[in-house]
Each structure stands twice: as structure tokens, then as C-alpha cells.
Amino acid sequence: MDLYKEVISTFAEQFEDAKKSEPSDHNAMTLATAGADAKPHSRVVLLKDFDDRGFVFYTNLTSHKGQHLRSNPYAALSFHWKSLSRQVHIEGPVSGVSTPEADAYFASRPRISQIGAWASLQSQKLNERKTLEERVAEFEAKYKDVAVARPPHWSGFRVLPKRIEFWKAGEYRLHHRTVYEYVGAAWTKYLLYP
């Protein structure tokens, strides 16, 4: 098996294990970005899809993370599955998902989440909660008897891994760390000291 297939297969197995053992949000991951100012920012988002093309999440493109990724299209993802004593760290360049992918995922969301994508001016200052509630009511009325269209400012990003580390807790902090890294034109695999 080539190393990239091995890494995606290993992640898929661990992701399935997490789905069974994590009490909630097994797909929660910390997303780290840096804007044009090079200052790091992190937040927790949800992994919505992955395959050999990369790891996908969705957001408002005008949010801080959306702005960061447009000015500096590189990100790091971290999964921490406490119940499994495992972590996975992923780094790589970022690109947008296709329009059909974004449309399909948006259509699968609960209707109130679709309305929220229109109503929320994500990451902008909000004077009071009532303002958001009024915007939600406005868009609920606008889309009362029709399907909610995907906003042009809402889409997804795909992180194409260039480095993935699988971390497994070891007794007395003698952890197991295996790294897959794309170097030159090929994938390599090596271990790290804990």
C-alpha cells in the first residue's frame, strides 16, 4: 500500500473508533490559521468530509478564518479523542470546495442553520442579541415557503495534508508518535521521540 493510502486509511479507522467512543462531536477539530499579519488564531470547527483529496469544513467566507485562509491558504488541524487517548495533527495547503459540493452540503443542513448562514454576520461586532434574532426572523420570512439558497459568502475549505502525525498516549508519557510527511515528491514515514 502506498504511504498516502496508508495515512488516509489509518485516519479513517481512528475516526470510526472515535465515532463509537466519543460522547459528542467526534468530528470536532481545532483549526489553526494565520492571517496576512502572521498572527496565529485557533478555533474548534467540525470536520464534514474527508477522502484522498483532503479534509473538509464549512464556514462563512467573511469570518476571520475565511479571511485568513484567503490571504494565507495554509492550515493546521488537530483532533483530540480523549476516550481513545489519541490525537491526530494535520498540516497542509487549503483550497475551496467546488460549488456543487458546497451546494450539496448546505442543502443537507437543518433549515434553521441555513437561515443562520444568512442572518449571522459572522465575526462582526453584535450590539445586542435581539439584533441577531430580528435578522433570523427577517430571513425566515424571506424563505417562508421556498428552499433556502446557499449564500454566496458561505462555502467550504479543503485541507490537503502534507504532514499528518498520529499520537497515542503511552504509559509514563512515553507516547507513540508516527508521522507521515510529503517531502520533495514522495511520502515518508518516521517516528518521533515523545
Just list the catalytic residues. 173
Secondary structure class of 112 (helix, strand, coil): helix
Cα–Cα dist 84/14, whole Å: 9
Sign, CA torsion 184/185/191/192: positive
Note every long-range contact of 115-122, with CB atoms under 8 Å and residues 24 or more positions apart, other chains counting. 115/139, 115/140, 115/143, 115/148, 117/60, 117/150, 117/151, 117/154, 118/142, 118/148, 118/151, 120/60, 121/62, 122/59, 122/60, 122/62, 122/63
Cα–Cα dist 131/150, whole Å: 22
